[in-house]
Copies of this chain bind each other. A is one copy, B any other.
Amino acid sequence: MTTRIVELRRGILKKNDELAAGLRGRFTSAGVLVLNLVSSPGTGKTAFLERTLRELRARGAQAAALVGDLETDNDARRLAASGAPVRQINTHGICHLDAEMIARHLEGWEEVSLAGLNYLFIENVGNLVCPSSYDLGERIRVALLSVTEGEDKPLKYPGLFNSADAAVITKIDIAGPCGFDRELALHNINEIRPGIRIFETSAKSGAGMDAWLDYLAEQARPA
């Protein structure tokens, strides 16, 4: 039975990779920078993304978001407060987004045309394991880690951190009460993914957001 599962899994991932490659082509043609945000549940992806969307709008950029959750549209409602177009994807029990879900939710999204966007953010289902295997056609995969989690998360979930293009540390405003060991966290991220860009942020205080927004602008610039 194990052999059949592995084969089936390979088949699913192969199909996903093909769909993702197609999406990546569409995103590149449209000139939209697509980012896939992955973290544990509770890391603060939604608060971080809401602030990012709000600040991008203040800078005159066009940004939209797709947000994945098993159930509820709480996150879409929270993100919509930024004023950006947002669409909820409910996976109903599936622990990650896949390329097919992205393609399906781009269809008929009347507020949004890819060609009119500078940025499309995809907030994945909160999970440090399964999303790592599913390419969504993004150009940048962002692994988020909060100061409330263990500093050894990169060592425990190397699949995610090793496949990420950028790392964001969230909630640095409560680093003190949490006893967060900053040096250890930075060391562990670099051990798994040497040289990765790391941003230290607080969606509450706004700390570190400028460096993050500058990075986005730099990445969105046509080569």
Chain B residues whose CB sits within 8 angstroms of the CB of A95 once the complex forms: 95, 127, 129-130
One of A57-65, A66-74, A113-121 at the interface:
A66-74
Say if the beta carbon of A197 comes within 8 Å of chain B: no
Say if the beta carbon of A178 comes within 8 Å of chain B: yes
Chain B residues whose CB sits within 8 angstroms of the CB of A146 once the complex forms: 42, 148
A41 to B72, CA, bound (A): 21
Nearest to A152 among chain B residues (CB) is B74
Task: Report how many copies the assembly holds.
Answer: 2
A139 to B38, CA, bound (A): 33
B74 touches A156 (CB 8 A): yes
Say if the beta carbon of A76 comes within 8 Å of chain B: no
Say if the beta carbon of A40 comes within 8 Å of chain B: yes
Nearest to A40 among chain B residues (CB) is B41
Chain B residues whose CB sits within 8 angstroms of the CB of A74 once the complex forms: 150, 152, 155-156
A70 to B192, CA, bound (A): 14
A41-B153, A95-B127 known; 17 new pairs, CB 8 Å cut-off, are A1-B11, A1-B12, A40-B42, A40-B126, A41-B150, A42-B148, A42-B153, A46-B150, A70-B129, A70-B156, A70-B158, A71-B158, A72-B155, A72-B156, A74-B150, A146-B148, A148-B148
